[in-house]
Amino acid sequence: MSWFTKTFSSTIGRKLVVALTGLFLCSFLVVHLIGNLQLFSADEGIAFNAYTYFMTHNPVIRAMEIILLLGFVFHIYEAYALSRRNQGARSVKYAVNHLDQNSSWSSRNMGLLGTVIFIFLLVHLYNFYFKLKFGEIGLDAQGNKNLYAITEEAFSQWWYVALYVISMVALAFHLIHGFQSAFQTLGLNHKKYTPAIKAVGYVFSIVVCAGFAAMPLYFFFFK
C-alpha cells in the first residue's frame, strides 16, 4: 500500500478528509446562499436568471463544480467509512453507556442527518441543476433560461416546501456538530478558543439554514 492510500484509509486520515471537505462545503453554502438571495429581488427573476446563466457558463465556475463534486464524494465516502469502522471496532457493547449524557444528539446522529441531506440533494439537483442544464425551460424577457419560474412552481407545492424546511433543520443540526468537530480534528481544541468556535458554528449553521429555508417559505406564503 502506498503512503497515500495508507494515510487516507487510516482513521486520522479519514477524519482529516471529512473535516477539510466539510469546511470547503461550508464555504460553498455561503456562496450559494448569497447568490440565491436574488430570489427575493422584486424583478420577477431577471437578476436570478442572469446569475444562474453566469453560474452555468463561466469556465472558472464550471471547473469549481468538479472540485465541488469531489468534495461531496470524499466527504460522504470517508464519513461513511469512519462510521462503519467505529461500529465494527466495538463488537461487545459497554455494559453502562450514558451516551445521551456524554454527547449531543446531533453528534450521535450525523449519519442519519447526512442521509436526509443526501436525499435532499438528489431531489434538489434533479429539479434545479439538471433541469437548468439539460431540460426544456422557457426564456425570460432577457433571453435567459427562466429558472425563477421553475423555482416558483416548485415552491408553490406544500410537500416541496416541507421537504426543504425539514432538510434545512437536518442541515443545521449536521453543521452545528460538524463545524466544531472539524476544528477539533484540525487540532484547534483549546479551553480559550473552543467555546468561541462553538458559538461561531451555532450562528453560522442557524443563519445559513434559516436563509435557505426562508426561500421556499417566501414563495409559498408571499408569491
Cβ distance to ligand HEM smaller for residue 12 or 42: 42
Using CB under 6 A, which residues numbered 79 to 138 contact ligand HEM? 117, 121, 124-125, 128-129, 132
* x/- track of binding to ligand HEM for residues 184-213 (CB under 6 A): ----------------------------x-
**Which whole-number Å values give the CA distances from 177 to 10, 46, 195, in the listed order?**
22, 37, 13
Q: Are 117 and 125 in contact (CB under 8 A)?
A: no
Please tell me whether residue 145 adopts helix, strand or coil conformation: strand
Least Å from the CB of residue 17 to ligand HEM: 18
Q: Is 22 exposed, middle or buried (0-12, 13-18, 19+ CB in 10 A)?
A: buried
Measured at the CA of 196, the angle between CA 193 and CA 201, to 5 degrees, comes to: 125
Cβ distance to ligand HEM smaller for residue 13 or 211: 211
Q: Tell me, what amino acid is at 48?
A: F
Cβ distance to ligand HEM smaller for residue 121 or 169: 121
Please tell me whether residue 139 adopts helix, strand or coil conformation: strand
The C-alpha cell at 29 is 453554502
Cβ distance to ligand HEM smaller for residue 8 or 218: 218
> How far, rounded to the nearest angstrom, does the alpha carbon of residue 69 sit from its chain's CA centroid?
12
Least Å from the CB of residue 196 to ligand HEM: 25
Least Å from the CB of residue 191 to ligand HEM: 33
Distance CA 20, CA 193 (A): 19
Least Å from the CB of residue 13 to ligand HEM: 25
The reply on whether position 151 binds ligand HEM by CB under 6 A is yes
The reply on whether position 36 binds ligand HEM by CB under 6 A is yes
Q: Which residue has the cell 432577457?
A: 142
**Closest listed residue to residue 71, CA positions, set 121, 108, 130, 5:** 121
Residue of 65, 139, 141, 190 that binds ligand HEM (CB under 6 A):
65
The reply on whether position 32 binds ligand HEM by CB under 6 A is yes
Residues that bind ligand HEM (CB under 6 A): 32, 35-36, 52, 55, 65, 68, 117, 121, 124-125, 128-129, 132, 147, 151, 164, 171, 212, 215-216
